[in-house]
Structure 1
Amino acid sequence: MDYMYFQGVPDTQTLSGVLELHKHVFEGSELETEKLKEKSNLIVFVAKDHERVIGFKIGYDYGNRTFYSWLGGVHKDYRGRGIAKELMSRQHDLVKSMGYTKARTISRNEKREMLILNIKFGFDIKETFTSDKGKHKIVLEKML
């Protein structure tokens, strides 16, 4: 298992693996490369099994020394091995070293494994809201 990160959009092969895994994790939803390019101080962490991307954690600058942990997931065949925990830990260590003082994320009740991981990692629930698509969302933050 190899872990690495990219500041900005990753190389073509890694990006392709992230996009494919995103579609797997988010039930067919496509992540547009242009959306990645728009983000300020984009940081992409990946976990690879040989050359295959099997986990990712993507975030960007949210302003006011806050890092927004945006998207992440692990391939179903690799879950339960601590990969998401390792990706989150590495992300938080890096952004803290870069001067960020807070991490923020938004989760959904249906994604319980991620919600529980966030709470175990010290995130506090700050608020909830209903998205434009009618999905109930949970806003979480933690001090780094």
Structure 2
Amino acid sequence: MVEYLNFENYPDEPYGKSMCRLHNQIFTGQDSSMIAVELQMKSRCFISLAVVTDKVVGYKIGYEDRTGRFYSWLGGVDPEFRRQGIASELMRRQHEWCRGHGYRVIRTHTKNKWRDMLILNIRHGFDVIGTYTDEKGQPKIILEKRL
């Protein structure tokens, strides 16, 4: 049974470490230690976790990047738990929280190689508003949703 937990700060243990382990599993080659550091520099953040027996099986992290706009930064679901609606529920919870806190727009960036995330965003009302090339020379897609 999946339990959903919401946080407005970096989650206490065991959830913080479990979330970082999952992030490293999904995004190999990325250092998850930057998540806590990055969030400490943000004025307002929101983290929603999907948990099974104290193990994080899905997460969605975002923060305010300017007045009225929330940036949906990181998220993922354990491959063993995909296709169960967890990513959609995490997104629904994030958008509900954003509405309740006065945000008018949610923005996110993704890559074409993360097609499941791109499709999920489009299914949940995001529009592609542009593209750019990041510092590694990778093309990125900018999406926004008006709340």
Taking structure 1 as the reference length, the TM-score comes to: 0.97
In structure 2, how many angstroms separate the alpha carbons of the residues matched to 1:22 and 1:135?
Answer: 20
Sequence identity (%):
42
Q: Name the structure 1 match of 2:64.
A: 61
Measure how far apart 1:111 and its partner are: 0.1
Tell me the secondary structure at the aligned position of residue 14 of structure 2.
helix
Of 124, 128, 136, which aligns to 1:125? Answer: 128
Within-5 A mapping of 1:68-79: 68-79=71-82
In structure 1, how many angstroms separate the alpha carbons of the residues matched to 2:101 and 2:128?
Answer: 24
Of 100, 108, 111, which aligns to 1:108? Answer: 111
Residues 60-101 of structure 1: per-residue CA shift (max 9 Å, x gap): 001130110000000011011100000000100111111011
Q: Name the structure 2 match of 1:19.
A: 20
Measure how far apart 1:13 and its partner are: 1.2
Match of 2:94, as an amino acid? Q
Superposition CA RMSD, Å: 0.8
Q: Name the structure 1 match of 2:51.
A: 48
* Structure 2, unaligned runs of 5 or more: none
Instruction: Say if 2:57 is the partner of 1:39.
Output: no
Measure how far apart 1:114 and its partner are: 0.2
Measure how far apart 1:42 and its partner are: 1.3
In structure 2, how many angstroms separate the alpha carbons of the residues matched to 1:52 and 1:8?
Answer: 18
Aligned length: 144
Q: Name the structure 1 match of 2:31.
A: 30
Of 88, 92, 97, which aligns to 1:94? Answer: 97
Measure how far apart 1:11 and its partner are: 0.5
Tell me the secondary structure at the aligned position of residue 12 of structure 1.
coil
Taking structure 2 as the reference length, the TM-score comes to: 0.95
